[in-house]
Structures are given as C-alpha cells and as structure tokens.
Amino acid sequence: MRLIIGLGNPGAKYERNRHNIGFMAVDEIHRCHSSFSPWRARFQAQVSEGRLGSEKVLLVKPSTYMNESGRAVGEAMRFYKVEPQDIVVIYDELDLPPAKFRMKTGGGHGGHNGLRSITAHIGADYRRLRLGIGHPGDKKLVSNYVLGDFAKADADWLEPLLGEIAGNADLLAEGKDSQFANKLTLALEPEKAKRGGPRPAGGEQGGKTSAPKSPRSPGAKGQSHIRQARQAKAPELPKSGPMADMLKKLLGQKD
C-alpha cells in the first residue's frame, strides 16, 4: 500500500486557497483515475482507495486542518503498517515560483506547519512533492497570501500542472520519482526538449543552419587557395612603350 497525502484545510471556505494546492492535486488524481472509491471519512481524514499502475494506493486529505495534519497521516500509516518511504506528501511551497515543482525525500519542514506536524508524528524520511506558489515578497504578507485564493489567471499554469501530476501519478505510486519529475518537466517545459529551438527555413535538423558556400570554378574543386594561386596564369606585361621601359628599369632588364 502507498499513501498519497494532499495537504490543505477542509471546508469550502479554503477550497481555492494557495495553501490547498495539495488537496487540489489529490482531487485531480481521484477525478482522473476511475479505480478509486468515493471519498469517505477515516483516519481523521477524507480517504479513497484505488490502484495506480501496479500499486494499491490510499489518497488522503487530512480533516484536522493544516497544523495537525500529522495526526491523520500517522494513524493511516500505523493501520497499513507502511514505512515513511511509502508516503508521498503533496504541498504548497513559497520558495518556488508558481508552476514549478520539486521532488525530494526527507529534509526539514521549512516553516511549513503541515510538514512540521507530519514530521513530529512519523519522522522526516517521507517523500515530498513541493508545488510552487511563489512568495508575496514580505514575510508579514505570507499568512494572507497562502490563505488567499488563486487568481483566475493562475489557471493557465495551475490546471496543466495538476493534470500532469494526475496523469503520471502511477510513477509516484511505484516510487519512480525521477521518472515522474522528468515526465512533468518535459510536459510543462517543452523548450528543454527542443535542443536548439525551432527548425529554420532552409536549415538542417536540430536548429542548425548551413553556412553559405563561396562559389568555386569547376577546376578548383579540392584544391587549397595557395595551390590555386600558384597555378593561376601570370598576367601579360607590356613589351613596348613608356610602361615597358619603366618595368625594365625596375626589374634590371636590358634590351
């Protein structure tokens, strides 16, 4: 059994908060995969059981509010007798720009109260999927910012991000975190896969253009410019007249 935990606060009041992006991700996994059962109350959380890839998975949304998330996670972990490595926690990250994400295992809580609570109940060695929401720029504004709703314009990056998480959730369940991260990066940042940008007109594949070729005479093919110069026909000199007399004096020629 694998546990995928989304962090957030329960209730319609908080539903679109930035702090609830973990709930949103788990809801999208549930919506996109028909194997999951309807949500039900258990372990001080809303849970749904199903299958992702080859793994049985329990989706968990703690009902304890963010600061007590560890109570629900610890209870579910003990019931299923799983290890921290079998748990993925999805949550909001102030220190990442919007639309960015990071996968990691273990580490500190970084001031996130949900992680602080989970670590207190099960230790720090669980896996984390951090979803960037950006920072308001002033520490005093953080509380209102994270408890504020996403703007309508945020849907441009939020919906694709949640969709790719749900579409590749089987890799999360199977512990293939690197593959999961690569899939999301290629889908959300396709410019990294293009290697040189769009193909220019008349150029070669891979965005490289052909260097212009200087014209050559038919007989010059394969010869160096030095050899060509040596083989060039010498210009004819005047044999009579003032110019001929001057050249003879310069070259020391006698009549």
Annotation-wise, does 14 bind a ligand?
yes
Half-sphere exposure of 125 (CA within 13 A, CB side): 5
Question: Pick the catalytic residue: 19, 30, 33, 112?
Answer: 19
Annotation-wise, does 65 bind a ligand?
yes
DSSP state of 35: T
Burial 21-40 (b: 16+ CB within 10 A, else e): bbbbbbbbbbeebeebeeee
Burial class (CB in 10 A: 0-12, 13-18, 19+), 183: middle
Task: Examine the residue annotation and report whether 19 is marked as an active-site residue of this protein.
Answer: yes
To the nearest 10°, the Cα dihedral for 92, 130, 1, 31? 60
Binding residues: 14, 65, 67, 113
Binding residues for tRNA: 14, 65, 67, 113
Catalytic residue list:
19
